Structure 1
Amino acid sequence: MSISEHKHVSKGDGGPVRRFEVFTGAGRRRTWTAEEKAAIVAESYAGADTVCGVARRYGLTPQQLFTWRRTMRTGLLRDGEATTAPSFVPAMVEPVAEPASADPAPARRLQARRSASGAGTIEVEIDGVTVRVGRGADARTVTAVLRALKASP
């Protein structure tokens, strides 16, 4: 049996008492200045009342007040002044010139190994460790080995 199925009878006329809801709140979207927000946030930190109590006093939801508190902490709203929105700064990226190799021998060794190992073989060198992957290797196993090599110090 739900609450709505209960019938309450008043003593006066014997008719049933009907349940109704009262909506409280502004009912419209309000705008708060940065100074007002800062004052309300400061009051919520004062400790005289709970955040819910302060929010109720100003007709806010506690979630809204917690959001204002977070924006004050992160610096998006400071001392009653809204800071300017972040802007983009142009960045110039110049190509990095490859340093000239002092020892041309490693390049020759890599080419020699590649041709000697045969077609369909991949050779990867990470921090001095060489991994050769032949044709038909399981992709999951190769991925696990490479991740382990990258993760090791």
Structure 2
Amino acid sequence: MSGPTISLHIVVAGTRRSWTREEKRAILAEAESTTASISSVARRHGLTPSLLFCWRREAWDEERAALPAPVGLPTRDESAPGGAIEVELANGHRLRAEAGADPALVRDLLAALLDR
């Protein structure tokens, strides 16, 4: 038989690509520094805008986790004679200062609990 021959090549490629932390940071930096839209930066790198937004949210979460624990608002302990304040930190530490406590000592203790 003579005639045209047809060759068929099937290529199966994974749809997932793994990006290194450095690649993600570089793409995020490009998205922050350019006046182009997030969508255009994503298309340029072959990813979806939603993935780029997800990476940005993860980067913000990492930055937030690296910040020192915030100080809770002091509460007044009405049951203590003479009054007292209690400060509860986000990391679980609690500082209770009775009325008349040295303010400099309280400040230094808070700084130590916050690892500053």
TM interval, short-chain normalised:
0.3 to 0.5
Normalization by structure 1: what TM-score?
0.31
Normalization by structure 2: what TM-score?
0.41
Q: Which one has a bigger Cα radius of gyration?
A: 1
